[in-house]
Amino acid sequence: MANKLKHGTDTMALRTFGINETYQLAMYLLDQYRGTILSCRYAVPPRLSPAESRTQLEEAVKVAVVDTIIRHPMLQVGMMDSTTKTPSWIQLQSLDLTQHIKWLYIGGHDDFEQTVQETFRVQLDDRFPDLSIKQPGWKITVIRQGNAPIMEVLLTWNHPQFDGAGAKVFHEDFLEMLNNAEDGAYERTALDGDNLRLPQAPPLIPAPIESLKSLPLDLMYLAKTFWEETRPRFLNRDVSQAAWCPIRSSPYKTQFRAFSMDNASLLAILALCRQNKTTITGLLNGLALIAFSSHLDSTVAPAFQCSTIMDHRRNLPPAPPDASWVRSDRAVGNYVTQLPHRFDTELVARIRSKLPADASEGRDLSADLRHELWAVSAQNRLEIVRKLEAGLRNDLIGVFKYVTDWQQTMRDMAKKTRQFTWLVTNIGVLNGNPNTSDDGQRWSIDRAQFGLSAETPAAAIEFAPISVAGRGMCVSANWPDCAVDVMLGERIMADLERWLAQLASQP
């Protein structure tokens, strides 16, 4: 897994990129995707809240980051040969923590929430430093206001480094390190000011999924996938593709919106989901179907396709005995794939027939629409369950191994008809309060927000929900400004927010 490919004066190649990593790097190099952020609001213990404790607070954060870096080797490695067909992960000798930990202090009269959201939006579209300078593609930005008992920590990263589930592990482990600062897991003699000397022994980094598990493909599945990718455009009669939203690559700008719901509302929604044999992911796919059916005319969108991002950590073998992350489900790495869903013309026409004639703002879901919603959501969950049970058979990652030039493949994809109208990537529930017997001196996480920069050739609008155990849920959405009308995006998000609130409050 940590085979030594090349030697240099200051670096050693650990392994070539896996399929997921190469595909995501190609999108980044072509400026089809920029950054991903998981932001968490931490409750700061009273002893570290006062302004005069600023030095101690910064030191506590730095030490906890160091301990998290040492647990997760993908936070330690850089890239080599990034623009070639075979990029590699390389061992680094040290990290300059000033490149990875940024503090943003704002005044008492500034709007904290507004600052968080503005910083979030700006960083989604930021480019990372030149990949040739060989440093890991991630950073945290800590936003603090006066003596406030909270701080916002934005983890921003370049997707080849790890996925959203890996970012959730980062925050959970960072929280653990903050609370266990007194008996830190790392011999911190290697920390000299802001310079962290990394272990000399080559780190064991998580292996790509294709080297851990076989990816069997049935001949019919492979043939169908190949035909869909290579058929001439004039033979493409698939009306479920998102032809209403042509792929445009410039100017690159992400539109980002988010809304939150409190824990009581989330619990009510979860109860309804269980009652109707679905999940939050299934429900969001169902709500998006009704929203898009409502705002797009049947002449431009008679049917739809969407995609659910899935985490394959549950399908991995146990972690190697010497792995610092201990368990496969705690790996900071890249283990996601996607599952397409189709909603045919008959279903979409039936949903449209039950929409109110007056399409003005403020409409609620009728009993008829709720019936359709739960049927679609349950079916969506069933498709996800079947995919999970099938494991890695007939998975897109298996098809991807036949791609020899990812940059050319992604250039070609940007010239095709867009496949998906929307996408849902749900990284689930974050454990923000590991010790419930809180004496007021422990750190905890009160809320989280997950966001992606616009993916040029992917879905028109991407939804990214995340919840914190016992604290509610945040649902965000992004879309490419040059391809999706802002009013459409905002209306879709307003529908989802209103309908979720309606469902949560229904008797």
Span 271-280, pLDDT tens digits: 999 999 999 9
Q: Which of 183-192, 320-329, 363-372 has the least mean pLDDT?
A: 183-192
Residue 6 pLDDT class (50, 70, 90 cuts): very low
Residue 21 contacts residue 227 (beta carbons within 8 Å): no
Residue 11 contacts residue 428 (beta carbons within 8 Å): no
For every residue of 351-396, which 3-state class applies, written as one string? HHHCCCCCCCCCCCCCHHHHHHHHHHHHHHHHHHHHHHHHCCCCCH
Nearest alpha-carbon partner for 198 in 324, 75, 100: 75
Nearest alpha-carbon partner for 413 in 455, 464, 462: 455
Nearest alpha-carbon partner for 120 in 452, 398, 504, 496: 452
**pLDDT for res 123:** 98
Span 168-223, pLDDT tens digits: 999 999 999 999 876 544 456 688 889 999 999 999 999 999 999 999 999 998 88
Residue 466 contacts residue 474 (beta carbons within 8 Å): yes
Which structure tokens are listed for 246? 């042509």
Which structure tokens are listed for 497? 């927010």
**pLDDT for res 3:** 39
Nearest alpha-carbon partner for 162 in 357, 358, 17: 17
Provide, for the chain, the percentages of residues in helix, strand and coil under a 3-state DSSP scheme, each rounded to the nearest 5.
40, 20, 40
Contacts of 269 (CB under 8 A, 6+ apart): 261, 280, 283, 500, 503, 504
CA 434 to chain centre: 22
The secondary element (H helix, E strand) that includes residue 289 is helix 280-295
**pLDDT for res 182:** 63
What is the CATH T-level fold of the domain 12-209, as seen in this structure? Chloramphenicol Acetyltransferase (3.30.559)
Amino acid letter for position 132? S
Q: Is the pLDDT of residue 424 over 90?
A: yes
Nearest alpha-carbon partner for 452 in 5, 32, 14: 32
Please tell me the class of the 255-314+335-390+417-431+448-505 domain.
Answer: alpha beta
Report the predicted TM-score, pTM, of the whole model to 2 decimal places. Answer: 0.94
The average pLDDT across 288-307 equals: 97
The average pLDDT across 101-118 equals: 94
**pLDDT for res 132:** 78
Contacts of 273 (CB under 8 A, 6+ apart): 279, 280, 282, 283, 377
The secondary element (H helix, E strand) that includes residue 205 is none
**pLDDT for res 4:** 40
Residue 304 contacts residue 424 (beta carbons within 8 Å): no
CA 286 to chain centre: 20
Amino acid letter for position 206? P
Residue 430 contacts residue 168 (beta carbons within 8 Å): yes
Q: Is the peptide bond before 251 cis (omega within 30 degrees of 0)?
A: yes
Alpha carbon distance 278, 422 (integer Å) = 19
Amino acid letter for position 84? T
Q: Is there a shared CATH topology between the 12-209 domain and the 255-314+335-390+417-431+448-505 domain?
A: yes
**pLDDT for res 10:** 52
Query: Pairing between strand 138-145 and 101-106?
Result: parallel
Phi, psi of 35, deg, nearest 5: -135, 165
What are the E-state strand segments in 63-114?
A: 78-80, 88-91, 94-96, 101-106
Nearest alpha-carbon partner for 453 in 431, 425, 429: 425
Residue 428 contacts residue 314 (beta carbons within 8 Å): no
Nearest alpha-carbon partner for 138 in 160, 118, 116: 160
CA 288 to chain centre: 18
Span 64-80, pLDDT tens digits: 999 999 999 999 999 99
Residue 8 pLDDT class (50, 70, 90 cuts): very low
* Mean pLDDT value across the chain: 92
Alpha carbon distance 213, 352 (integer Å) = 43
Residue 470 pLDDT class (50, 70, 90 cuts): very high
Nearest alpha-carbon partner for 21 in 72, 77, 69, 96: 77
Question: What does DSSP assign to residue 10?
Answer: S
**pLDDT for res 438:** 57
Starting at the earlier edge strand, list the strands of the sheet with 101-106: 101-106, 138-145, 150-157, 36-43, 444-452
| Residue recorded with tokens 């911190």 | 188
Alpha carbon distance 166, 184 (integer Å) = 21
The average pLDDT across 385-401 equals: 91
Contacts of 108 (CB under 8 A, 6+ apart): 145, 146
Domain segments of the chain: what residues?
Answer: 12-209, 255-314+335-390+417-431+448-505
Span 149-182, pLDDT tens digits: 999 999 999 999 999 999 999 999 999 999 987 6
Alpha carbon distance 460, 244 (integer Å) = 10
Pick the most confident of 229-238, 351-360, 370-379, 433-442: 370-379
3-state secondary structure of 459: coil
Contacts of 507 (CB under 8 A, 6+ apart): none
Residue 290 contacts residue 301 (beta carbons within 8 Å): no
CA 373 to chain centre: 25
Span 55-68, pLDDT tens digits: 999 999 999 999 99
